[in-house]
Chains A and B, each alone.
Chain A
Amino acid sequence: MIKNYQLPRKVYATEEHAMFKKTVEEYFKNHVLPHREKWEEQGYCDKEAWLKAGELGLLGITCDPKYGGMGLDFSFSAMLIEEQSRYGAAAPGISMHSDIVIPYIEKHGSDFLKEKYLPGCCSGELIGSLGMTEPSTGSDLQAIKTFAEDKGDHWIVNGSKTFITIGYTSDFTIVACKTSKGAGSRGISLIILDADMPGFSKGKPFKKLGLKTSDTCELFFEDVKVPKENLVGELGMGFIHMMTELPRERLTIALTAIGAVRGALEHTLAYTQERKAFKQPICAFQNTQFEVAEIATQLEYHCAFVDRCTELLGEEKLTAELASMAKYHSSDMQCKMIDACLQLFGGYGYIWEYPIARYYGDARVQRIYGGTNEIMKLMISRSIYADFFQEMKAAKKHAQKQMAAAAN
């Protein structure tokens, strides 16, 4: 039931959404949360969880049914992301797999690649990851060093990638490679590397501050021989392909943020009514009341913006700038609000068996991955000042021309 202080979520308003939400709940309560401690210990989640998700139709939600997908619109994915985050479940990395990897193949890949990878992706038998970041290159994608040398009917790939989400458990990785040197962003292509190709090796899952059930690792490529048909999209167009996918990727982070805040707030509301200090429940203190009012308000405000972005994405009108705003602001909000929630738990907030510590650890990277929030601001401001800088550039060029003419 929607309480007076909660916005009606128009994007999730249909009967199908309500049914879908039940499936999602059943999945996380029965097949994910009971295994969380074991997965935290080992640093990755078990394959069974992926297969179960596939069985329940939670993988490839937006993917064409002819490849085993559900053929639903993005709002169902959005709901899944939000609910998963609400449960505080970092794994399995469904969103990375379904909302990032699968669309790359479906939208840009050849029929051969679609038939080869998508059915397995939708059933959970194949897990895919995306390799962009390198040890010395984050958001500055043009500076990547991984190189795919053209050898006629195949590529030879050398290089390394880092911070690869579900890299350790994935069966294949879409790797951003340079296919021609010196061509800048035009020299980047996307190539699928299977984990069992000779010369492809992986580091152990990184130990991280949070997201402990989700594996993140380094990938190493040493003379990996890759067939030519593994190219995703057009040669030299990798950068452009990646740019077109950015709005959805960034929106998934914003959705994760609001889901997490909702989950944390729910736990906090329960705790502040149970826990007593100075002989009264801590929700009786004005400080608690104000903190909770702030968190609930921030949450609803961000929901409104994020829901609008979800709608726009469905209409294929979501711009990278708006998505950047959603990512940056929601993740900042998430960190601040979960910090406030943890504080209301007092000492228990710091203890791992209480859920709020996990929300806290998981939140921090939201401001970093998918492009740091600093990069988001850079993107937003570039767009704001685009005309000004373009004119300045033109004026500079013009002046240079005139000076050259004068010198002659």
Chain B
Amino acid sequence: MSTFFTEEHELFRQSLRAFLEKEAIPHIDQWEEDRRTPRDIWKKMGDMGFLGLSYPEEYGGLGLDFFYDVVFNEELGRCNSGGFAITQQVTQYMSCPNILKYGSEELKQRYLPGIISGDLISSIGITEPGAGSDAQNISTTAIKDGDHYVVNGAKTFITNGVYGDFIVTVVKTDPEAGAAGVSLLILEQKMEGVTSRKLKKLGWHSSDTAELNFDNVKVPVENLIGEEGRGFYYLMNGLQLERLVAVPAAVTGCETAIEMSLQYMSEREAFGRPINKFQVLRHRIAQLASEVEALKAFSYHCCEMYANDIYDVKLCSMAKLLATELCEKVATECLQFFGGYGFMEEYPMARMYRDVRVGTIGGGSSEIMREIIAKIVIDGQGYVKPKSSGNGIVERKASTPGGNGKSDNGSTDTAETTPDISIEEIVSGIQAKASAVDALGKTLKFDFGGEQITIDGTGADNQVSASNPDADCTINLSKEDFHKLVSGNLNPMNAVMSGQVKIDGDMGLAMKLQSLFS
């Protein structure tokens, strides 16, 4: 027994595995054929208590520790159906944690018991036809009109978006405000104006994937999750869990592929001997087995950190990157062991091969993972976990370097004192930095609420002044935060992402802050 799992974890694993071997695995061929996972499996899983492992008991959950979720995902990975696994993961780890962490008590009472019992199915609507990982550029709008929002726009690649009940939808409540205008709103599938189109996919056949259209959908204001304008920050906080749960499932998926291959290779003969006697094939297995074992150790390491409330963006991103890439390698090589049978649907590897392909795309592509990792290891962008608040799916906050993050209720938990400095001092201080970089080409204004400084980069050089013109981009922030930006104690990207500073106008210009203050 591993050091990460207690006897109770293992007992849970046995019962879950027995359940899946009886109720899921024999039916997956049919689900793949039907292009959906039927509702009754959700209900059966709910009855067994599998759908609220780490959700609080008051909503019907079991309040268990995160390693039960690890077991849950490992066993999902053994089913050899990425489609089935994703339908469960989306609900459990991607859409509903937003309700649990940030939703009103009313929303929690309305949705969570149904999710945990298996009566309700949810999805998360982030990606749009024109915006993938850059979620701040979404164009779905929710405009407040009295006691409701009017939602217009479209989402795509939405798992559970055809047969689900509700969508945790990323909308712009302030279309002009960039990341600070993003909010999370619950739309029900049956609301008037919500339509869905089922997409045909290369793999993941037992899951439904939708393109959703919202045409003047009236959504009660009570359906807003948390606060307006905080959606981007909520999303960013959820990403680590979303990426992390893919890892244990990937490990067991790889292990299953190797097990199936070993079985086949011991039975199949070529040139008068079983093919597991050929040196090249033996070496390939040895290599794959080694890489999977290493990934498994890394997976447990990351999961343990998460269970201990350590929010490590770097490790989670690395784990997601390595796990999904290794899945592709394992599926590709194991299919090859099966020869012509590998290409046939009657054998298991064809499904695994097409299912794993989306791993390096969904949940932030491998390229996005490398971007994040590069920002951390090269540019020194950092994330530090603030105070702890429990096990499993609990609130985790992104913080800025030095722990000077803003907590969720808006209080600033910084011990630093900020010197009271005049606008003139700021202007002269910033002029030196601004002169050192290329002219911005546009005007950028920092609004401190009453006072402001402006960098006019339309000429040959950047000119800093205390004037107040109409700027291409305005950054609203406190003088304290500005001081932290200048002194390097606040990372501009983090500050934007966490909503600590608000940006109006040209986002591209705001992105240049990094170079201005580095």
- B367 and A343 contact, CB distance less than 8 A: yes
List 27 A-B pairs, Cβ < 8 Å: A138-B339, A139-B270, A163-B340, A163-B344, A206-B344, A207-B346, A208-B343, A209-B344, A276-B130, A278-B134, A279-B137, A279-B507, A279-B508, A343-B365, A343-B366, A343-B367, A347-B157, A347-B358, A350-B202, A351-B199, A351-B201, A351-B202, A352-B201, A364-B335, A365-B343, A368-B343, A377-B280
A208 vs B346: C-alpha distance when bound (angstroms): 9
Q: Does A342 count as interface, using CB distance less than 8 angstroms?
A: yes
B78 to chain A, nearest CB (A): 21
Q: Are the C-beta atoms of B336 and A367 separated by less than 8 Å? A: yes
Cα–Cα distance between A343 and B358 once the two chains are bound (Å): 9
Contact with A along B350-366 (1 / 0, CB 8 A): 10011001101110011
* CA of A139 to CA of B272, assembled, Å: 12
Q: Which residues of A contact B272 (CB under 8 A)?
A: 143
A377 to B336, CA, bound (A): 14
**Does B399 count as interface, using CB distance less than 8 angstroms?**
no
The complex places the Cα of A369 from the Cα of B202 at a distance, in Å, of 21
What residues of chain A lie closer than 8 Å to B353, measured between beta carbons? 209, 364
CB contact under 8 A between A368 and B132, given known A140-B270, A279-B507, A347-B157: no
Distance, CA A189 to CA B350, complexed state (A): 33
A37 and chain B: residue at smallest CB distance? B200
Question: In the complex, which residues of chain B have a beta carbon less than 8 angstroms from the beta carbon of A372?
Answer: 336, 339
Q: How far is the CA of A369 from the CA of B328 in the complex (A)?
A: 21
The reply on A346 being an interface residue by CB < 8 A is yes
Does the CB pair A209–B345 fall under 8 Å?
A: yes
- Would A208 and B344 be within 8 Å (CB), given that A346-B361, A350-B201, A351-B200 are in contact? yes
CA distance A207 to B341 in the complex (A): 11
- Chain B, interface size: which category? 35 or more
Q: Complex formed: what's the CA distance from A277 to B508 in Å? A: 12
- Which of chain A's residues has its CB closest to B209's CB? A351
Residue of A nearest to B137 (CB): A279
B263 within 8 A of partner (CB): no
Which of chain B's residues have a CB closer than 8 A to the CB of A207?
344-346
Look across to chain A and name the residue whose beta carbon is closest to the beta carbon of B508: A279
In the bound complex, residues from chain A placing their C-beta under 8 Å from that of B343 are 208-210, 364-365, 368
The interface residues of chain A lying within 8 Å CB-to-CB of B428 are: none
Q: B340 — nearest CB in chain A belongs to which residue?
A: A163
CB < 8 Å: which of B132, B270, B350, B366 contacts A347?
B132
Question: For chain B residues 89-124, which have a beta carbon within 8 Å of chain A?
Answer: none
**Contact call B367/A347, Cβ cutoff below 8 A:** no
* Of listed A360, A364, A377, residue having the most chain B CB within 10 A: A364
Residues of B near A276 (CB, < 8 A) are: 130
For the complex, is A374 an interface residue (Cβ under 8 Å from B)?
yes
> Closest CB-CB distance, B264 to chain A, in whole Å?
13
Q: Do A346 and B132 contact each other (CB < 8 Å), given the known contacts A209-B343, A372-B339? A: yes
**Shortest Cβ distance from B281 into A: residue:** A374
Contact between A209 and B365 (Cβ–Cβ < 8 Å)?
no
A210-B343, A350-B361, A372-B339 known; A140 vs B271 contact (CB < 8 Å)? yes
- Asked whether A277 lies within 8 Å of B357 as measured between CB atoms, the reply is no
Residues 332-354 of A, flagged 1 when their CB comes within 8 A of B and 0 if not, give 00010001001100110111110
* Interface check B494, CB cutoff 8 A: no
Q: With a CB–CB cut-off of 8 A, which chain A residues contact B130?
A: 276
Q: Which residues of B contact A360 (CB under 8 A)?
A: 202, 357
User: A353–B199 contact, CB under 8 A?
Assistant: yes
A-B CB proximity, top 6 nearest: A207-B345, A352-B200, A357-B202, A209-B350, A347-B157, A163-B340
Closest residue of chain A to B129 (Cβ to Cβ) is A348
Asked if B202 and A361 make an inter-chain contact with CB atoms under 8 angstroms apart, the answer reads yes
Is A390's CB within 8 Å of the partner chain B?
A: no
CA distance A207 to B360 in the complex (A): 25
Residue A173 at the chain B interface, CB threshold 8 Å: no
| A residues near B366, Cβ cutoff 8 Å | 343
A83 to B350 Cα, complex, angstroms: 27
Q: Does any Cβ of A come within 8 Å of B127's Cβ?
A: yes
Residues of A within 8 Å of B199, CB to CB, are 351-353
Other than the given A351-B202, A365-B343, 17 more pairs (CB < 8 A) read: A139-B270, A143-B272, A162-B340, A206-B344, A209-B353, A279-B507, A343-B361, A343-B367, A347-B127, A350-B201, A350-B357, A352-B199, A357-B202, A368-B339, A374-B280, A374-B281, A374-B336
Is there a chain B Cβ closer than 8 Å to A95's Cβ? no
Bound-complex Cα distance A347 to B370 (A): 17
- CB within 8 A of A287: which of B346, B350, B360, B367? B367
Question: Restricting to A160-219, which residues have a CB under 8 Å from any CB of B?
Answer: 162-163, 206-210
Contact with B along A365-405 (1 / 0, CB 8 A): 10111001110010000000000000000000000000000
Interface string of A144-168 (1 = CB under 8 A from B): 0000000000000000001100000
Do A208 and B280 touch across chains, with their CB atoms under 8 A apart? no
Instruction: Give the one of A138, A210, A339, A351 with max B CB within 10 A.
Output: A351
Q: Looking across the interface, which residue of chain B has its beta carbon closest to that of A208?
A: B343
A133 within 8 A of B: yes
Task: Enumerate chain A residues within 8 angstroms of B340, measured Cβ to Cβ.
Answer: 133, 138, 162-163, 365, 368-369
State whether the Cβ of A408 lies closer than 8 Å to any Cβ in chain B.
no
With A207-B344, A277-B132, A368-B343 in contact, is A347–B508 under 8 Å at CB?
A: no
Distance in Å from the Cβ of A23 to the closest Cβ of chain B?
Answer: 32
Select the residue from B127, B271, B340 with max chain A CB neighbours within 10 A. B340
Flag whether B248 is at the interface (Cβ < 8 A): no
Residues of A within 8 A of B220 (CB): none
Q: When the two chains form the complex, which single residue of A136, A339, A357, A377 contacts B201, counting CB atoms closer than 8 Å?
A: A357
A163 to B366, CA, bound (A): 35
- Which residues of the partner chain A approach B201 to less than 8 Å between Cβ atoms? 350-352, 357
